[in-house]
Amino acid sequence: MSSKKSHGKKKHLRAAFRKNKRGPVWLALRTRNRSLVRGRTRNWRQQKLTKHIKRKMKND
């Protein structure tokens, strides 16, 4: 990640990156593959984060 981003922007980008991953394997085994994805997954080409991050940073 570049060094010219503010701390708040980096924080929101890290949170979005963690949220976009699929769930752990033990959860899939326990629920018989019914819950593999945490919420909606995001593709970097389809949905951009810049608008969402700017809106969140204004509210914080």
Query: pLDDT tens digits, residue range 2-50?
Result: 788 888 888 888 888 888 887 788 888 888 877 666 667 778 787 777 7
- Give backbone dihedrals phi and psi of 36, rounded to 5 degrees, phi first: -100, -25
Q: How far apart are CA 60 and CA 3, in angstroms?
A: 21
Domain range list for the chain = 23-60
* pTM exceeds 0.75: no
Find out whether 53 and 33 touch, Cβ atoms under 8 Å.
no
